[in-house]
């Protein structure tokens, strides 16, 4: 999430009751969780296991719960990081996320601040939140819920009972319970997207969950937070994609494919039904299985398995 204008790090420190370690004149330009940080962003880390990873990321500012680190890690561009010491970085980060992207509520079916383009048709019983933007010639079927900040392009179809922009499933376990991370991102549906019935698409934690132009979702598909789905993809029924994963262009995922978090699927990949994708896979190939392997390799494996009884009989007769 980028701020509308740079914020002095001293102001960030004052808001979060943090101690600045480094340049007190620096300006913060955005806020992001670690997987999406860019130069100028502020992020957080609160576990020693991830100190090195976070301090060597592109983030320029890090809220951290120790002073016992070298403040002068760079963000990859030769610019030195600024640390903000805080005993609870998660709470400090969450405070900032809520401050810059507050939850907006409406008691109307269509919020007063929602913008709906020419020729778009909204069926009764649909709920459209504050600051939602819907393009031209869209069709939104009954019982669809579109959360605040969502952006929808032209010629988009959303079928009944789908939910767009619900909170990210992102929690941190501390003090014996789970604390919720505030969703400061949104959902963007680009032109000519079609969303099937009963689909759920979560808002980004700090960036946008995006469905690219021309992509089609079957019914009961779930898209996790910060996922980027490319253009002209086909996602069949009951596909589930975990948070912060990137799907290339023209990818086909058949029914009940499960895709892990924080991975990438290359352009023009096809994954057959009931498969699981635990790690990144190259584009231009067809995959199957749990975990997935290339379809040609899978076919060879199956052929070998079919020969096992015959081989076993030969071994017994030796």
pLDDT in tens, 247-265: 999 999 999 999 999 999 9
Distance CA 144, CA 198 (A): 9
- Distance, in Å, from the CA atom of 73 to the CA atom of 45, rounded to the nearest integer, reads 14
Tens digit of each residue's pLDDT (9 = 90 or more) over 100-154: 999 999 999 999 999 999 999 999 999 999 999 999 999 999 999 999 999 999 9
315: left (phi over 0), alpha (psi -120 to 50) or beta: alpha
Q: What is the pTM of this model?
A: 0.89
Domain chopping of the chain, boundaries: 2-100, 115-296
pLDDT at position 295 is 77
Band (72; pLDDT cuts 50, 70, 90): low
- Distance of alpha carbon 31 from its chain centroid, rounded? 15
Dihedral sign for Cα 213, 215, 219, 223, please: negative
Q: What is the pLDDT of residues 6-35, one digit of tens each?
A: 999 999 999 999 999 989 999 999 999 888
**Tokens 């810059």 found at:** 100
What percent of the chain stands above pLDDT 70? 97
CATH number (3.40.605.10, 1.10.1040.10, 3.40.50.20, 2.160.10.10) of 115-296 reads: 2.160.10.10
Instruction: Please list, residue by residue across 124-142, b when 16 or more beta carbons sit within 10 angstroms of its beta carbon and e when fewer do.
Output: eebbbbbbbbbbeebbbbe
Strand-pairing partners, residue 74, are 80
**Distance of alpha carbon 181 from alpha carbon 290, whole angstroms:** 31
169-213 pLDDT per residue, tens: 999 887 789 999 999 999 999 999 999 999 999 999 989 999 999
Architecture (CATH level 2) of domain 2-100: 3-Layer(aba) Sandwich (3.40)
- Catalytic site positions: 225
Report the C-alpha gap between 235 and 219 in whole angstroms.
9
């Amino acid at each position: 999430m980028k701020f509308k204008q740079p914020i002095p790090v001293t102001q960030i420190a004052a808001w979060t009751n943090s101690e600045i370690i480094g340049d007190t004149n620096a300006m913060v330009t955005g806020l992001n969780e670690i997987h999406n940080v860019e130069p100028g962003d502020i992020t957080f880390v609160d576990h020693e296991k991830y100190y090195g990873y976070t301090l060597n990321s592109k983030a320029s500012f890090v809220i951290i719960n120790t002073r016992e680190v070298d403040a002068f890690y760079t963000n990859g561009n030769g610019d030195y990081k600024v640390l903000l010491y805080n005993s609870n970085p998660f709470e400090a980060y969450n405070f900032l996320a809520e401050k810059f992207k507050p939850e907006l509520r409406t008691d109307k079916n269509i919020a007063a601040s929602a913008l709906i383009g020419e020729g778009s048709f909204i069926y009764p019983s649909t709920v459209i939140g504050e600051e939602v933007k819907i393009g031209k010639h869209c069709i939104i079927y009954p019982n669809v819920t579109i959360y605040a900040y969502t952006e929808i392009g032209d010629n988009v179809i959303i079928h009944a009972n789908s939910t767009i922009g619900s909170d990210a499933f992102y929690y941190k376990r501390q003090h014996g319970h789970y604390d919720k991370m505030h969703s400061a991102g949104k959902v963007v549906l680009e032109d000519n997207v079609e969303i099937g019935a009963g689909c759920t698409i979560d808002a980004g934690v700090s960036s946008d969950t995006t469905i690219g132009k021309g992509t089609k979702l079957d019914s009961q598909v779930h898209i996790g937070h910060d996922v980027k789905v490319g253009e002209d993809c086909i996602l069949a029924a009951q596909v589930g994609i975990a948070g912060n994963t990137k799907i290339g262009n023209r990818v086909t995922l058949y029914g009940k494919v499960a895709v892990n978090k924080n991975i990438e699927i290359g352009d023009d990949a096809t994954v057959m039904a009931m498969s699981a994708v635990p790690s990144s896979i190259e584009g231009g190939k067809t995959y199957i299985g749990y975990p997935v392997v290339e379809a040609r390799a899978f076919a060879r494996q199956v052929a070998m398995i079919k020969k096992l009884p015959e081989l076993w009989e030969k071994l017994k007769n030796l």
